[in-house]
Amino acid sequence: MSTKTKRFWFWFGISLATPAMLLAGEAQNAFNEGVKLYKAAKYKEAIAAYNRAIKASAKSEEAYNNRGLAYFKLGQNDNALKDYDEALKLNPKLTDARFNRGNAYYQQKQYDRAIKDYDEVIAQNSKTPKGFRQRGLAFLSLNQLDKAIQDFTEAQKLDPKDAEIYYHRGLAYRRLGKNDQAVQDYSEAIKLDPKNAETYNNRANAYSLLGKYDDAVKDYDEAIKLNAKNANIYANRGVIRARQGKPDDAQRDFQKAVELDPSLKAKLDPLMVEQKGAGKR
């Protein structure tokens, strides 16, 4: 059963910098315009504004940082990294730029480099959860699960209302085979964010591994109510219905999964044949 997640991308905090000191008039006006355009999701226009700010004041580390963010939003990670590097040359203590560079490295799957930047973010400010949670994600991606759990736990202490922290710590526990603890974390995530189908799906997976099939099916049902287009949820529920001795229900779930995602056909066809035979017995 699938326990994959594509939620990492949505969890990135961003650090939009503001100048520690006012820039000269022209540069400040262009910088302010860039901030406004960025917040309006007009990233190309924001880059043009930051270009003007940098041209008027080449020593503005905040302008480089913010332009890097706009490039990052456009998927231009190489340009983003160049700007974060320049910002950090101008001010090695600019935590915003270091955090953002870590995110860019993470997005490029350069997890070791990302961790080094998150290390520095935490060293500069150990009271903010974002450094711990992002480093935890990097450790999770490297399958260094104990370290990931340690970081998510620190992040949770600092921000106990962030559902994503519990969700990702649950993933780490699940990979360690600690399914009771995974269920606890997924349950907490659901309390904080009851409309996330993927959390129900993953809690159902943990329940199934604990042999709690009825609880698993209830969670798959809820996940489907929230996202009826996710083929993996139907496939997962089909597996459990087969284990419950409900071949007709399992067959319908497998068929629906293939309808939504034809790439699952090769994997599910043998299960459908098996359940078809079971239904005749």
**Structural domain that includes position 101:** 26-108
pLDDT band at 13 (very low <50, low <70, confident <90, very high): low
Based on the fold, state whether residues 103 and 32 are members of the same structural domain.
yes
- 111-145, pLDDT tens digit by residue? 999 999 999 999 999 999 999 999 999 999 999 99
Per-residue pLDDT, 17: 57
User: Based on the structure, what is the number of domains in the chain?
Assistant: 4
Q: Is 11 contained in some domain?
A: no
pLDDT band at 180 (very low <50, low <70, confident <90, very high): very high
Based on the fold, state whether residues 252 and 178 are members of the same structural domain.
no
CATH of the domain at 43: 1.25.40.10
Per-residue pLDDT, 22: 47
Instruction: State the average pLDDT over residues 210-216.
Output: 98
Per-residue pLDDT, 8: 38
Based on the fold, state whether residues 98 and 136 are members of the same structural domain.
no
Q: What is the mean pLDDT of the chain?
A: 92
Instruction: State the average pLDDT over residues 32-55.
Output: 96
Give the domain-ending residue among 201, 228, 255: 228
Structure tokens at 237: 């529920």
Structure tokens at 152: 């998510």
Based on the fold, state whether residues 212 and 196 are members of the same structural domain.
yes
**Three-class SS of residue 21?**
coil
Q: Does the pLDDT value for residue 222 go beyond 50?
A: yes
Q: Is 49 contained in some domain?
A: yes
Based on the fold, state whether residues 34 and 103 are members of the same structural domain.
yes
- 188-212, pLDDT tens digit by residue? 999 999 999 999 999 999 999 999 9
- 44-64, pLDDT tens digit by residue? 999 999 999 999 887 889 999
Helices (H), the chain: 25-39, 43-56, 61-73, 77-90, 95-107, 111-124, 129-141, 145-158, 163-175, 179-192, 197-209, 213-226, 231-243, 247-260, 265-280
Q: Is 140 contained in some domain?
A: yes
Based on the fold, state whether residues 145 and 203 are members of the same structural domain.
no
Based on the fold, state whether residues 182 and 165 are members of the same structural domain.
yes
